[in-house]
Amino acid sequence: MATIKDINSSGTLHIDKETFEWIYTLYWEKVYAICYNNIREMEPAKEMVQDIFKSLWERRENLELEKAEHYLVRSAKFKTFEYIRNKVSREKHIGMKMQSCTMSTNCTEEHILFNSLKEKVNLLVDRLPCQCRRVYKMSREDGLGNKEIASNLLISERAVEYHISKATNMLKLNLANYTN
């Protein structure tokens, strides 16, 4: 439990390794329950919880927490909202592509080509350097803006732009034969 030594003069919680471990142990299940109950998917919920605690640890020196529980609950609600928003957006986009495909005479062929391209893109993205891949996925798959990515990864917006540019250039180069 947080002790007096963990609270600074302004009444906010100082997060050191021991305090972080205590917060993690105390609130992991609650944060997971919030995420899981909102999206009903186990693995994405676990990833959200890890992201929330990772962010807490990385931002520990800049955060001024009076109650860690309130911060974690708000973070969990925000993460699930963000996930649902992005999932709905992705599903809507895929639905529109599939709808246009059904109107096409070459539906099966287009579907096979689409899946082939999607698989190739995923393989190429997985070959990107770690930070570049993380930035690209946060931008393209999670739908985050450069400012949000920079804040989450504790890097500059310019670094985010660099990684996105590097990733898209590599994809363009390796997918040139798909652009007929």
Specify the pTM: 0.47
Give the containing element (helix H, strand E) for 7. none
Residue 142 DSSP symbol: S
pLDDT, mean of each 10-residue run, the chain (180 residues): 42 78 92 90 90 89 81 91 79 68 63 81 88 89 87 90 90 76
Contacts of 138 (CB under 8 A, 6+ apart): 144, 148, 149, 152, 153
State the pLDDT at residue 26: 92
Verify that 134 and 67 share a domain, yes or no: no
- Per-residue pLDDT tens digits for 88-138: 776 766 777 666 655 555 667 777 777 888 888 888 888 989 899 999 888
Verify that 21 and 93 share a domain, yes or no: yes
Burial of 121 (0-12, 13-18, 19+ CB in 10 A): middle
Domain that holds residue 134: 128-179
Verify that 44 and 92 share a domain, yes or no: yes
Q: Kindly state whether residue 69 falls inside one of the protein's structural domains.
A: yes
State how far the Cα of 147 lies from the Cα of 75, in Å rounded to an integer.
17
Verify that 22 and 91 share a domain, yes or no: yes
Which CATH number goes with the domain that contains 27? Answer: 1.10.1740
Residue with tokens 């529109």: 96
Q: State which of 97, 115, 146 marks the end of a domain.
A: 97
If one counts the domains in the chain, the total is: 2
Which CATH number goes with the domain that contains 145? Answer: 1.10.10
Verify that 87 and 162 share a domain, yes or no: no
